[in-house]
A and B are shown apart, each in its own frame.
Chain A
Amino acid sequence: MSKLSLENVTYRYSVGTPFCKTALDGVSVSFEENRVIGLIGHTGCGKSTLVQMLNGLLKPTEGRVFLDGKDIWENPKEISAVRYRVGLVFQYPEYQLFEETVRQDIAFGPTNMGLPQEEIDRRVEEAALFVGLEKETFDQSPFELSGGQKRRVAIAGVIAMGPEVLILDEPAAGLDPMGREEILGGVRSFQKEKKSTVIIVSHSMEDMASYADELVVMDHGKVARTGSCRDIFSDRDSLLGYGLDVPQITRFLIELNALGVPVRTDLFTVEDVRKELLRLYPSLAKGGKR
């Protein structure tokens, strides 16, 4: 049984006004347990709308959403329990901070859940560790932090709620390369440690290639394809058709290949490509540092 699934979900914004807009159109997709799933698609294809379906922030216009096989809208009064189990970090979450100190802001979610104080403290520290937030910042005001640090506080605030499913909408957008790696790596280790399900929305094929186990490709309000990174990235033509592309390093291989160098073109991370090039040119290894 899959952890989370959508069955024929359609969602329309502003129903009954001239601005009515179908953002999701009969989407059926399921997310399996214990892995990182990447959600990709061109701008405006409905990714953010889809993830808001998954924790009951938006109610499907048509169709149903299942968590552990149970329809989450079966009893609308219990929807807040679903929100504790499925944690959602929004696009640009730094604008939702409001408490006096970082510690209080991270503790906001767990406090709302009514956990005992020691448990809250434990979770705050654990969550801060995952996102790489230093202890010195704990007593600062969140408004004094840099954009990247604010982002970490916001993500920690959701991780501290201990969700079974963690969803992040473009968690690394607008961060420096180190920051991206720290945040995504932290999320990856959170997933490994808790054996939870993590869904990451991203526009970066490179990040997806290195952090996601599976991909869901969206196109114009529909799920176009699902599969492993290998499945999806091996088919460049259809990706181009969805307004996406393969990771840059793969494009590099494809161009090399076209120039007559006999490299494989089905590798997607820098590390794999390094190994492949060393296999082809063992002499390179002597000069290189690594």
Chain B
Amino acid sequence: MITDITLGQFFPGQSVIHRLDPRTKILGAIFYIVIVFLAKNVFSFLLLVAFTLFLVLLSRISPKVVLKGLKPLIIIIVFTAILNLFGKKGETPLISFWIINIYPEGIRYAIMIIIRVVCMLAGTSVILSYTTSPTAITEGIERLLSPLAVLHLPVHDFAMMMTIALRFIPTLIDETDKIMKAQTARGVDFSSGSLIRRAKALIPILIPLLFSAFRHAKDLSIAMECRCYRAGKGMTHMTTHRFGLRDYLSALVMCAFCAAVVLLNKYAPGFSL
């Protein structure tokens, strides 16, 4: 059912990655994406794949789960790869068929895209979303952005809005599941019929869902006021992370990885993709 969605979900644990400061992980994830796009030849790609596997193992999250998280995006990945396969023009076509020409460049490019996208998704998932609780992520973002508060930007409100939005995703998914089941029991059919029929079948889901989203918003705002919530000044976090040896070491590892990719790009012989 719909509750089986795992992408963007947090899996609690005690691995090294879990225990890093969220700021390290946010910056690390951004850095990681940059490195993914730096890789250019066979050797740097091999290193990229190896490093991603290393991260998955380090996070102690089962590789099966990581792969399952990629599943919903398979169509997009395959589609981009196919576009590149046919789109990229080279000198001599490898296969010529009717109006379709496939060049070796196209094949290489398609493979490269697949590796890049898979590594990027798997890597950022285990660095950040699978291993960091939503509250830690927002804490990290708030603290990374805190210098902007000097410019009177509402950094705290922004972080609070994000926390709440993230907090309610699972609730709303659960609720959607419940409402869908209840309407299915009343004879709504979501999986067959014409497009118009299926669109119409959404109304009995969307109206109760909207209604309950507003109900949640109202209840939550009242509950927050009852606990004397005042935005911004003077708010502290229940647990505050601090940079430790672990964080400095991981920064070092990431820099070394980046340097290795750049060096391999430059000095490894041939095979440039």
Contact = CB atoms under 8 A, between A and B. Distances in A.
A97 B211 CA distance: 10
A80 B181 contact: no
Contact of A14 (B3, B175, B183, B203): B3
Contacts of B238: none
A252 interface: no
B186 interface: yes
A80 B187 CA distance: 7
Contacts of B178: 90, 95
B68 A57 contact: no
B68 A16 contact: yes
B11 interface: yes
Contact of A80 (B11, B62, B183, B189): B189
B184 interface: yes
Interface in A143-163: 143, 157-158, 161
Contact of B186 (A16, A95, A112): A112
Contacts of B212: 95
A57 B186 contact: no
Contacts of B61: 18
A161 B187 CA distance: 9
B95 interface: no
A109 interface: yes
A108 B182 CA distance: 12
B170 to A, nearest CB: 11
Contacts of A161: 186-187
A93 interface: yes
B64 A95 contact: no
Interface in B169-195: 175, 178-179, 181-189
Contacts of A108: 186-187, 204
A17 B68 contact: yes
A87 interface: yes
Given A17-B4, A57-B181, A108-B186, A97 B208 contact: yes
A123 B189 CA distance: 22
A87 B204 CA distance: 18
Contacts of B211: 95, 98, 143
Contact of A157 (B4, B181, B186, B203): B186
Nearest to B211: A143
Contacts of B6: 17
B186 A158 contact: yes
Closest CB pairs A-B (n = 9): A112-B187, A98-B207, A96-B182, A109-B186, A88-B185, A90-B182, A57-B181, A98-B204, A98-B208
Nearest to A91: B178
A284 interface: no
Given A57-B184, A161-B187, 16 more contacts: A14-B3, A16-B64, A16-B68, A17-B68, A18-B11, A18-B62, A80-B189, A83-B184, A88-B185, A90-B182, A95-B211, A96-B204, A97-B208, A108-B204, A112-B187, A112-B189
Given A17-B6, A17-B65, A18-B65, A84 B187 contact: yes
A55 interface: yes
Nearest to A109: B186
Highest count of chain A CB atoms <10 Å: which of B3, B182, B188, B189: B182
B132 to A, nearest CB: 16
Interface residues on B, range: 20 to 34
A113 interface: yes
Given A16-B68, A108-B204, A83 B182 contact: no
A90 B208 CA distance: 14
B62 to A, nearest CB: 7
A59 to B, nearest CB: 10
Contacts of B187: 80, 83-84, 108-109, 112-113, 161
A93 B181 contact: no
Interface string A52-85: 1001010000000000000000000000100110
Interface string A26-69: 00000000000000000000000000100101000000000000
Highest count of chain B CB atoms <10 Å: which of A17, A80, A157: A17
A109 to B, nearest CB: 4
B4 A90 contact: no
A157 B181 CA distance: 14
B214 to A, nearest CB: 11
Contacts of A88: 185
10 contacts: A80-B187, A83-B184, A90-B182, A95-B175, A97-B208, A98-B203, A98-B204, A108-B186, A112-B188, A161-B187
Interface in A75-131: 80, 83-84, 87-88, 90, 93, 95-98, 108-109, 112-113
Contacts of A55: 185
B182 A93 contact: yes
Contacts of A80: 187, 189
Contacts of B182: 90, 93, 95-96
A27 B85 CA distance: 52
Contacts of A18: 11, 61-62, 65
Interface in A1-40: 13-14, 16-18
Interface in A238-265: none
